[in-house]
Structure 1
Amino acid sequence: MVSRSQSPFWRYILFQIPGWILALVAAWWLQTSRSIPTWLAIGLPICWFVKDMALYPFLRNAYTNNDSLPIERLIGSRGRAIETLSPSGYIRIGTELWRAEADIEKVERDATVEVIGAKGMVLRIRTIRDANEPVTPSKSV
């Protein structure tokens, strides 16, 4: 079991070890039973390892420790109301649509909103007074 205090890199490495062992066993089996060239048997596990290292930057976030719920990670994100919320409706954060409840009676369509909380799968929002501020995409979930 991987300790929660380990860095994402070491968590990633520990999860890759079974694949590396499988690549080594497959290369050994192919070399002994199928008589593939030795350079190919050596190259297979090396390519497997290089592939895993090349993918790490893209997968790093999946290996970070985060005890909050995914919906709670949206707190602080900004989006736009895609319909009039009185007081509930739908907003867009990045490319995703979310059900939301406003902290006031009514939020007009296309108003810039900010997520201030979550209740179940419903976001609690407030309007942003300065519409010139850029809308930030949702944080990686």
Structure 2
Amino acid sequence: MDLIIWRHAEAEEERDGLDDLERALTSRGEKQAVRVAGWLDRNLPEGTRILSSPARRCEQTALALGRKYKIREELAPGATPDDVLRAAQWPSAKHAVLVVGHQPVLGETLAQLLRIEGGSVAIRKGAVWWLRTRERDGLEQTLLWAVQGAETA
């Protein structure tokens, strides 16, 4: 199974009176999302399921890809790595799954799957981390297949 983790692109700063779920992408964030979406569009396998946090900035990031996606409440800010993995049906989903979400949970999910000490991985805004699971010698392994930054897509 492939699990593609996409952190939302650059968004408005938090401020008084603005609900966190309503924060939108900045103009720079919109450009980041479009660049990474182009890279993803060229590389995603057929049948990839796309799941997004209900936060506006995540939906805007997912929209840049121009494919159908589903909003999953369990991916909202405050989610846990277990929430992310359950939503993605890791590692048994029949198709690749792209999750558009937030830090710190995406970094915590990566750390858990890649067995990285310290409990979290820093993911830049708009970046994609692509994991693949396989079985070798009777053991299940998680591989880091690709990392794509928003500035280099």
More helix by share: 1
| TM-score (norm. length: structure 2) | 0.21
TM (norm. structure 1) is 0.22
